[in-house]
Structure 1
Amino acid sequence: MAHAVVIGAGIGGLTAAVALRRRGWEVTVFERAASLEPVGSGLGIAANALRALDTIGAGDDVRALSAVQGSGGFRRSDGRWLLRTTVEATAARNGGDSLVLLRRSDLVDVLFSRLEAGTVRLGTPVLRVDPDNGLVVLAREQVTADLVVAADGIHSPVRSTLFPGHPGPRYAGVTSWRLLVPADHVPGRAHESWGHGRVFGVMPLAAGRVYCYATDTVPAGGDRRADGDASGDANGDGGDQLAELRRLFGDWHSPIPELLAAASPRDVLRNDVYHLATPLPAMHRGRIALLGDAAHAMTPNMGQGACQAIEDAVVLAHAMGSPGHAVPDGSRGGREGTLGGENGGLAAYTAARLERTSKIMARSATICRVSRMRNPLAVRLRDTALAVGWRLAPSRVNGAMDEVLGWTPPAD
């Protein structure tokens, strides 16, 4: 049986492990952290990622644990609506699926439950990889794999090994906070509010919880940890962070002050936001495939970071195929291999994913720049453009994400 090593047990890595295992691969996942998602936050899974999860039999479980986003949209800091969306309009354009909201840890549990015991090895950092022969070097052992999937985050050491000339991640100009808040009265509408260089999002989850997130335009250095990734696992002094959120957003419209009043310091995560401003030349080299943030870390403004990692995983498994029906590998003298030649395998994975993820990465960065506006005149023009565009062409606004959300997984 062909062997795949996955580096990183985040959402993308676990999805890849499940997808490859369903194709008949032997899979081992190495995760440097001692636990999976030790602190929680919320997550939105859009229609494109739900379709991808359906291909590995996880879509319905995710839907069952989620709250469906109801009517929502964008607001000003004083509460005035700039544009609105409805769940019916979104679902009608995307085959019946809308955005579903759940805790990150719930999605991790769904994926982890689909792997055999012993597949994921926690507290096991990878020290070095060799793309030419698939050698994976650990602290006390070495493993040779037919395929190595690097899902090791925005500061990916594997990416630096494969493409040492790439400039790497860049600070996006904003720091972010995330928190889960218990709420007796959960707001019915998910919404994102924009102010002068600041953003606050409210996403009702199931079981009486609300996921909140916020950003502010400040210099880098606020996350208090050098190795925090794009999704934000760093956590400084929660009391200081909650006090800062209350200072920045305490006078914004309801229910933001009420949610911050109900929040606990231990539930606040803060991270500076980094992204890859320059696309990679490829998403593979030799026997190694890059996946998720390691390949295309993006700002969170389109809510597509985890969704694109999930897409990557199922496309990669499809491109690699079942080990007994793999694409012939010309580099092995014509013997049937698992990596494919220039017209299949990992080359097909790059061909299917690089252009799409690069476009989404760039579009998300553009939205981030717009959200960072502080000049009062620029903010007024931005808000007016959003409101007028919605009133004059609501269907065009609803359809702005069609190219992203309308993606379908490859068929066998």
Structure 2
Amino acid sequence: MTRTAAVVGGGIGGLAAAIGLQAAGWDVVVHERADALPDKGTGLGIWPDALDALDRLGLGARAREVGLAQVNGTIRRPDGSRIGILDVESMREPVHLLTRPELLGLLAEGLKPGVIRFGSNMTDLDTLRAEHDVVVGADGIRSGVRTALLGSRHTLKYAGGVVWRGAADITVPAGGETWGRGRKFGITPQSGGTTNFYAVLYGPPELGAHGGLEILPELFGDWHDPVPAVLAAIDPSTVLRHELHYLGPPLPSYVHGNVALLGDAAHAMTPDLGQGACQALIDGLVLAECLAAQEDPRAGLAAYDARRRRPSQRVAAMARRVGGLTAWRWTGLRDLVAKVALKAGPPS
């Protein structure tokens, strides 16, 4: 008998789960409220474990072809002096940089036509649960599925900063971050000769609440090269500004009845480790593998929760700690702690 699954949310984790379930013979539908895949978006670092997940989904070679292999990044102070180096070149495989549209496009290509139903804003969770063997809540940081299941017990918490993200029409040889007092600026190369940037201002959410792009040169314009050049080359149409949040307290389970949560819906985290997309990919793959391995979907869902909840929550907690470190105003102590941590190598 063919099993059926409804995936709410056509983002990275939802599409990964759909591909894996489709390969296992499940009848899958993805409900995505947007009218189409995005054509603009920031860059994503796909770390080795996430590349392994793409390999098992049959998309790893294509991701490596499309993506840009990352070289070592340098952590600096605003005057350009070096705090340390994030040594990604010593890893078993390079981190590959893809834009969100590139990654979503690759994932969508792995699904049969018609699986993704665009413009489908599904809010009736009870109907979905009654009509399908499994429902996957992959609807992002403000997950309606999570709220329908848990109410306000587990909500978004302000992580202490606001961020501007976007792309600049400029080429840089390598990525890195610059840490000032109460603010930081990061850049990563993208394919096509552009550069992804993010600018973080720490403090209460009203800080920079009314500031558009004009506030960025005021905050970062006198920092070391190439920060001023990146600021001057920003494509305004790509820029997003939002507060940084995480999900708290951590969920006691990613599974409720025949519903599984994954990605940001399950463990929304700050972007300080660049692991949000990676963890969503791994969630989607593991969920599909666990369901494929068990005749009883409930057993498969339980296995998914056992395999993914604690590891993904550890990554989310680590991201918060790193974000807290970069926000320290005791910059001398902060830089010393960072030097020691960077010598231990990048997080696995």
Taking structure 2 as the reference length, what is the TM-score of the superposition?
0.94
Contact residue 326 and residue 334 of structure 2 kept, 8 A: no
Q: Deviations over 1:199-249 (max 9, x none)?
A: 11110112211111111113226798xxxxxxxxxxx9xxx5221112111
Question: Which has the greater radius of gyration?
Answer: 1
Task: Give the corresponding residue for 1:122.
Answer: 118
Q: Deviations over 1:332-365 (max 9, x none)?
A: xxxxxxx13xxx3111111101111111111111
Q: How far apart are residue 389 of structure 1 and its match?
A: 6.0
* Residue 363 to residue 122, structure 1, CA distance change in 2 (3 Å): same
Does 1:219 pair with 2:204? yes
Does 1:316 pair with 2:287? yes
Q: Which structure 1 residue ranges, 4+ long, deviate > 4 Å from structure 2?
A: 221-224
**Quick one: which amino acid aligns to residue 46 of structure 1?**
W
Distance 1:241 1:22 in 2: 45
Distance 2:42 2:341 in 1: 32
User: For the aligned residues, what is the CA RMSD?
Assistant: 1.9
Contact residue 154 and residue 250 of structure 2 kept, 8 A: no
* Residue 389 to residue 303, structure 1, CA distance change in 2 (3 Å): closer
Task: Give the corresponding residue for 1:273.
Answer: 244
Percent of counterpart pairs with the same letter? Answer: 39
Task: Give the corresponding residue for 1:386.
Answer: 338
Task: Give the corresponding residue for 1:233.
Answer: none
Q: Which moved more, 1:165-174 or 1:246-255?
A: 165-174
* Residue 4 to residue 81, structure 1, CA distance change in 2 (3 Å): same
Q: Which moved more, 1:292-301 or 1:380-389?
A: 380-389
Match of 1:253 among 212, 221, 224: 224
Distance 1:356 1:294 in 2: 15
Q: Which moved more, 1:242-251 or 1:212-221?
A: 212-221
Distance 1:262 1:39 in 2: 16
**Quick one: which amino acid aligns to residue 24 of structure 1?**
G
Match of 2:187 among 185, 191, 202: 202
Distance 1:279 1:223 in 2: 29
Within-5 A mapping of 1:13-412: 13-90=14-91, 94=92, 97-130=93-126, 135-136=127-128, 144-164=131-151, 166-183=153-170, 186-220=171-205, 241-321=212-292, 326-328=294-296, 339-340=297-298, 344-374=299-329, 378-387=330-339, 394=343, 397-398=344-345, 400-401=346-347, 405=348
* Residue 21 to residue 247, structure 1, CA distance change in 2 (3 Å): same
Distance 1:116 1:387 in 2: 48
Q: Deviations over 1:369-404 (max 9, x none)?
A: 112223xxx1121113333665xxx3xx21x51xxx
Contact residue 241 and residue 265 of structure 1 kept, 8 A: no
Distance 1:88 1:272 in 2: 32
* Residue 193 to residue 278, structure 1, CA distance change in 2 (3 Å): same
Q: How far apart are residue 312 of structure 1 and its match?
A: 0.3
Task: Give the corresponding residue for 1:336.
Answer: none
Q: Deviations over 1:226-279 (max 9, x none)?
A: xxxxxxxxxx9xxx5221112111111110100110112222111111111311
**Matched residue of 1:200: which SS?**
strand
Contact residue 221 and residue 272 of structure 1 kept, 8 A: no
**Quick one: which amino acid aligns to residue 34 of structure 1?**
D
Distance 2:208 2:154 in 1: 22
**Quick one: which amino acid aligns to residue 268 of structure 1?**
V
Distance 1:38 1:187 in 2: 22
Taking structure 1 as the reference length, what is the TM-score of the superposition?
0.80
Distance 1:296 1:355 in 2: 10
Question: Which stretches in structure 2 are left out of the alignment for 5+ residues?
Answer: none
Q: Deviations over 1:266-319 (max 9, x none)?
A: 221111111113110100111100010000000000111110000100100011
Q: How far apart are residue 161 of structure 1 and its match?
A: 2.0
Distance 2:28 2:117 in 1: 11
